[in-house]
Amino acid sequence: MNDIQKVYFIGIGGIGMSALARYFNGRNVAVFGYDKTATTLTKKLVEEGMMIHYEDDISQIPKGIDLVVYTPAIPDDHRELNYFRNQNFPLKKRAEVLGMISRTQKTIAIAGTHGKTTTTSILTHVLREGGIDCTAFLGGIANNFSSNYVEGKSDWVVVEADEYDRSFLHLHPEIAVILSMDADHLDIYGADEAVKNGFRIFGSQVKDHGKLLVNQKWITEYLKKNKVQGNVKTYGLELGDFYATNIKVVDGYFVFDFKSKMADIINLQFNLPGHHNIENATAAIAVALGLGVSAEAIRRSLVSFKGIKRRFEIIYRDEKVVYIDDYAHHPSELRAAIHAARVLFPTKKIIGVFQPHLFSRTRDFLTGFGEVLSTLDEVILLDIYPARELPIAGVDAQAIYKLITNDAKVLTTKQDLLELLANKDLEVLMTLGAGDIDTLVLPIKEQLIHG
């Protein structure tokens, strides 16, 4: 790693890839890359000194590249990727490089089908406020850092352990957290049990002297095929070795008590809404306490935590309307986001705009999407965002639409959405999804401001 002077990223604009690019850039390595489209994030990377182009064009690859990093989302027929393969360049997946980096430092790895980015960001903020100057690779733009990468000077590094493509199996952490083990990425794993077994293997890779923290809701499933149990602790709501209790909403904030054998911390105030985020905070507190962070630093950091872009992010709010944007793209994530909105705004009508992400995920969770979207007061459904996938016969937004039992539903396009919203009496509006629905956030906000 110390000999690398020029690194090239194929898919540099991805949230995980850009964090790695920032890591190398911060170490005075010349960073070059390709991405399909220019985004706010890629423009920021260019401002930070990286060279990026947006055509699959071999002639734009500079000479003297020491390492090529690519994401599994890049198609196999990509010309630049195949050029590097054919010329025998050192070629690594993002997860492999993250694994290489983590082996040089003491690693805290946060895994789970939901909540990784939030928990990783909370923990990073709590540790740094508590005097542990950790490095962090985040799966979103944390508002406290205005970045998805945080440079630290201590031996500790906090990483988001992604189960997609079994990426997290490149990690061998000192401390690991498993937040959830729901079925997801079945295009990779094939079946629910294979997903769970991936998490079991990940947990078994914690170093011998290390610690594993598992959500109480999943501990029975996790231990089903694991013989070693000594280093496993649990956390949760009302149950676990570390747990939150007395949860309530006070003046628009969630307040709760944290209980454990290590410490009890009473009346913690937290800015993020939803019981799922109290769970995430509880996991972060448990790890921080184990590393010696004080109760007072934990209290202070929870109050000052500003959240993550596209994680229940309140984009606009006035006396009439609240507009929330959320990355939720799995039925469980949608359920958590909608429930959080119900708790915060119990008397208001909630309209949700949902863009399904991936044909395979839509196929695998069709019934779940229909059920959870039916809990909204009104549903606006967009076409599927395909990302890396080709269409699947019979799988489209219409298939979800038919399963939504709420009569207040409409199927529309991104192009027609603004006009549709302009004619609605909005109270709470949510945009939901992991595709390119985020490109509509600013136009929606501007329309709300100017009427």
* Buried/exposed code over 164-202 (b: 16+ C-beta within 10 A; e: otherwise): bbbbbbbbbbbbbbbbbbbbbbbbbbeeeeebbebbbeb
Please tell me what DSSP assigns to residue 376.
S
137, β-bridge pairs: 149, 159
Question: Is residue 414 a contact partner of residue 356, using CB atoms and an 8 Å limit?
Answer: no
Structure tokens, 445: 């906000």
Phi, psi for residue 362 in degrees, rounded to 5:
-60, -45
Closest CA to 334 of 276, 385, 389: 276
Q: CA 334 to CA 432: how far, in whole Å?
A: 8
> Is 313 in the active site?
no
> Is 309 in the active site?
no
For the residues of 291-328, what is the DSSP string, one character each? TT--HHHHHHHHHH---BTTSSEEEEE-SS-EEEEE--
Q: Which of 117, 118, 135, 282 is catalytic?
A: 117
> Is 160 in the active site?
yes
Q: Which of 116, 211, 259, 309 is catalytic?
A: 116
Measured torsion, CA atoms of residues 24, 26, 31, 33, in degrees rounded to the nearest 10: 80
Phi, psi for residue 224 in degrees, rounded to 5:
-55, -40
For the residues of 24-72, what is the DSSP string, one character each? HHTTT-EEEEE-SS--HHHHHHHHTT-EEE-S--GGGSPS---EEEE-T
- What is the β-pairing status of strands 322-326 and 313-317? antiparallel
SS3 170: helix
CA angle at residue 442 from 440 to 447, to 5 degrees?
A: 95
SS3 156: strand
CB count, 10 Å around CB of 4? 15
**Catalytic residue set:** 116-117, 160
